[in-house]
Amino acid sequence: MSDRVVVAGAVFDQGRLLAARRSAPPELAGRWELPGGKLEPGETGEQALVRELREELGVEARPLERVPGEWPLKPGYVLRVWTVRLVSGVPAPLQEHDELRWLGPDEIDAVDWLDQDLPAVAAALRCLSDSACAGG
């Protein structure tokens, strides 16, 4: 049986990355992640990401490029990340998060990222810095 896919968005705006602080479950609360969620049956990664960002942050977003690689989460789950551009709306912590922060490249280490998100964040930042995943 293949792993369940969890999608996350590396939402960039003016060179800053959006970080979201978990409010649940208790073992993750207070730590930071890239916003996103589980792929539903029949969805593409991009469709799931648009839906999750709408539900969690109240924004319309456009996935640009898939960040190379995938990262193991809890057993049976893998994380896939896309770079994302906001189309409309202002991100707000509507579900599963209690705070959002925009982090510049020199502020990435200012928050306590979830262990499994650290390599994904690093890969997304590489995408941003070398334009390898910049898309259109």
Bridge partners of 82, per DSSP, are 9, 66
| Segments forming the whole domain that contains residue 74 | 4-130
Dihedral sign (CA 97, 114, 42, 12): positive
Number of domains in the chain: 1
CB proximity list for 109: less than 8 A, separation 6 or greater: none
Q: Are 56 and 9 spatial neighbours (Cβ–Cβ below 8 Å)?
A: no
Question: Tokens 């599963």 belong to which residue?
Answer: 96
In a domain, 20, yes or no: yes
In a domain, 135, yes or no: no
What pTM was estimated for this model as a whole? 0.90
In a domain, 32, yes or no: yes
Q: Would you state the pLDDT for residue 133?
A: 62
Burial of residue 111 (CB within 10 Å: 0-12, 13-18, 19+) is middle
Q: Would you state the pLDDT for residue 14?
A: 86
- The total number of residues shown for the chain amounts to 136
Q: Would you state the pLDDT for residue 2?
A: 77
In 3-state terms, what secondary structure has residue 39? coil
In a domain, 24, yes or no: yes
Q: Would you state the pLDDT for residue 127?
A: 81
In a domain, 93, yes or no: yes
Q: How do residues 30-62 score in pLDDT, each as one tens digit?
A: 999 999 999 999 999 999 999 999 999 999 999
In a domain, 107, yes or no: yes
Domain of 36, CATH number, reads 3.90.79.10
pLDDT under 50 in the chain at which residues?
Answer: 135-136
In a domain, 136, yes or no: no
Q: Distance (Å, rounded) from C-alpha 90 to C-alpha 70?
A: 28
In a domain, 72, yes or no: yes
